[in-house]
Amino acid sequence: MWRKFKYSGIIIVILIVSFLSSCSPSNMVTKKGLYLGTFLTFSIDSAHSYVYSKVSKILNNIDKKFSRFNKESLVYRINNKKGEWVKVDKEFIDVLKFSIHMNEISYGAFNPILGEVESAWGFYDGNYRVPSEEELKELRNGTNIKNIMIDEERERVKIIDGELDFGGLVKGYALDLIKNLLEKEKVKRCVVNLGGNILVFGDKKEGFKIGIRHPRESGIIAKIRIFSGTVATSGDYENYFIKDGVRYHHIIDPSTLKPAKSGVIEVTVISEDGMLGDALSTTLFVLGIEKGEEFLKGKYPQVKAIIVDEGLNKHFINGAMDLTVP
């Protein structure tokens, strides 16, 4: 995700997880928008419809800090001033540190400095191509997490090589900020779908039913019911091309710098914390079923996941099965 808008028509239609309308009572209003290079659908109880303009501000602020494409963003500045310190703020450092933490605990599967690699494959601009082994070798050094330097005291960051890319977690992060706002505004009920990352909030009696998109057909592969929290999905069908019969998609295995071939085609993560859930969906996609399951059970027993493999089998982790409904 998070391509420039100009290209976003290519692959989009991605409301991966579709909100099933059984729980959208008539006193809800729905707004639609384009943010962070993707679609936003925002449904809120009508008494709080004014909250949308605040959400819009939050998302534009995130874009100004974390977008690779916004020329005024901090990420853009850092990526384009290699070797130079760039003034950031505490929020930026917190997100950056979280992404580095995810890299450390995931055996490198999550990597926030893959920007040059995504570019080389054409996943940013839609000019898809298969880079040569030689080219990937040259990009290798830039994917080392040690290229990221943080000076916490003076709130500045520099990278020695490579390019930052927060596409693996920024939508989830945005949901966390939106959730804080909804709490503050005492919103009754709200459903946010930001490019397939979902947040449900409020009014817990009936819960929210969410359909998980089928990775290969139209329609859904499972339905879950949750009462609060976020749902993040990573799939090999979101941004991909096929060349000589091979599918190349945008989730990169940092050990090969090629699209991850872990036997997984879709991962859905259900988590209270949006940024964590988003990062984990990408991480589990790279780790694959066995390593992914071991990792999630060991590190995040409170987070549930549904992994779909190439044979379209569903693997339920940490009790995710209990969330499914007919």
274 binds, among Mg ion, ligand ADP, none (CB under 5 to 8 A by kind): none
The entry of ligand ADP, Mg ion, none near residue 251 (CB within 5 to 8 angstroms by kind) is: ligand ADP
Is residue 260 within 8 Å of 309, Cβ to Cβ? Answer: no
Closest separation in Å from C-beta 63 to Mg ion: 17
- CB closer to ligand ADP out of 45 and 272: 272
143 binds ligand ADP (CB under 6 A): no
Binding status of residue 122 toward ligand ADP by CB under 6 A: no
Span interacting with ligand ADP, options 78-86, 107-115, 146-154, 298-306, rule CB under 6 A: 107-115
Among 63, 116, 163, 165, binds ligand ADP (CB under 6 A): 165
What backbone torsions phi and psi does residue 120 show, to the nearest 5 degrees?
-60, -35
| Per-residue interface string for the shown chain with ligand ADP, residues 254-293, x marking contact by CB under 6 A | x-----------------------x--xx---x-------
Q: What is the DSSP string of 162-209?
A: S----TTTHHHHHHHHHHHHHHHTT-SEEEEEETTEEEEEE--SS-EE
* CA–CA separation, 21 and 80 (whole Å): 44
Please provide the DSSP assignment of 100-154 as one string. HHHHHHTTT-S-S--HHHHHHHTTTTS------HHHHHHHHGGG-GGGEEEETTT
DSSP 24-44: --TTEEEEEEEETTEEEEEEE
Residue owning tokens 């096929």: 242
Q: Facing residues of 86 across strands? A: 157
Partner interacting with residue 122 (select from Mg ion, ligand ADP, none; CB below 5-8 Å by kind) = none
Q: Which is nearer to ligand ADP, 234 or 271 (CB)?
A: 234
**Residues in contact with Mg ion, shown as a per-residue x/- string from 147 to 176 under the rule CB under 5 A:** ---------------------x--------
Closer CB to ligand ADP, 63 or 238, in the complex: 238
Distances (CA, A) of 301 to 56, 271, 291: 33, 10, 14
Give CA–CA dist 71/320, Å, rounded: 41
Q: In the bound complex, what is the minimum distance in angstroms from residue 135's beta carbon to Mg ion?
A: 25
Q: Which of 139, 159, 190, 251 binds ligand ADP (CB under 6 A)?
A: 251
Q: Which residue in the set 63, 116, 118, 236 belongs to the binding site for ligand ADP (CB under 6 A)?
A: 118
303 in Cβ contact with 318 (< 8 Å): yes
Contacts with Mg ion in 216-235 (CB under 5 A)?
234
Binding to ligand ADP (CB under 6 A): which residues in 196-225? 196
Task: Name the binder of 259 from ligand ADP, Mg ion, none, CB < 5-8 A by kind.
Answer: none
Structure tokens of 63?
């874009």
Amino acid occupying residue 104: E
Closest residue by Cα to residue 251 from 230, 229, 267, 271? 267
Member of 116, 176, 238, 273 binding ligand ADP (CB under 6 A) = 238
In terms of Cβ atoms closer than 10 Å to its own Cβ (0-12, 13-18, 19+), residue 325 is exposed
Interaction site with ligand ADP (CB under 6 A): 1-2, 110-112, 114, 118, 165, 167-168, 195-196, 234, 238-239, 250-252, 254, 278, 281-282, 286
